[in-house]
Amino acid sequence: MPKAGKALSTRLDHRNPLVFDTHELGRRPGALQRLSRTVEAPVDLGIDGVIGVPQGSPVELDLRLESVMEGVLVTGTARASAEGECVRCLEPLRQEVAAGFQEMFSYPDTDDRGHRKAAADDDAEDDEDITPLEDGMFDLEPVLRDAVVLALPMQPVCREDCAGLCAECGANLNENPDHHHDAVDIRWAALQGLAGSLGTDEKDNMSGAEAGVDEKQEK
């Protein structure tokens, strides 16, 4: 299955902060360029319903662009603050995330019409793994999204020793570590329920009857 963003159905917009231009880098193998940029997080940057970087929050990017024979090798790190919910106590949490990534953006072989030429021995699956530059530009968003998702925890916790919630009443055990419920012998649970449902007179009658039985046993 092809990776997200491999097929470019529309032209890249140089005004998009996640689109980078490599013209200044040039095509001489070994040329290097370092870039730092703070961008707004795109929508759905994270694990849906678990934890993610809120849309519009700052994402700090540090990139290293290297020109190689095949294209431009991009190595970088993204830093941001992710928000979610602790899986144990269900309290909101905030966690710093640093995601590293590396991606090759290839120079497309083009004909005089600007279309990519297919070599005779090209393999369809190999084509799917190619991320071509478009007019010397590349879109970092798919790479950023994959890297951040892999860097986030699947089961986030507010702290490693989070005690979670009481299984019986849902009380937060972090706030009340001495919280507990008295264990009831299941053999007496039915009798306790019956006693609780009886009126005062009925209880007195039962007590009197029990006393009479005790007297007979003593005689």
- The pLDDT tens digits for 37-66 are 999 999 999 999 899 999 999 999 999 999
Opening angle at CA 20, ends 16 and 21, nearest 5? 120
- Nearest Cα to Cα of residue 135 among 5, 18, 19: 19
Whether the per-residue pLDDT at 202 is higher than 80: the answer is no
Q: Is residue 77 within 8 Å of 99, Cβ to Cβ?
A: yes
The model's pTM: 0.68
- The pLDDT tens digits for 71-86 are 999 999 999 999 999 9
- The pLDDT tens digits for 118-148 are 554 444 445 556 789 999 999 999 999 999 9
**CA 192 to the chain's CA centroid:** 48
- The pLDDT tens digits for 136-187 are 999 999 999 999 999 999 999 999 999 888 888 888 888 888 888 876 666 6
d(CA 145, CA 126): 22
Predicted pLDDT at 145: 96
**What does residue 189 show for φ and ψ, rounded to 5 degrees?**
-60, -40
- The pLDDT tens digits for 92-118 are 999 999 999 999 999 886 433 334 555
190 pLDDT tier (thresholds 50, 70, 90):
low
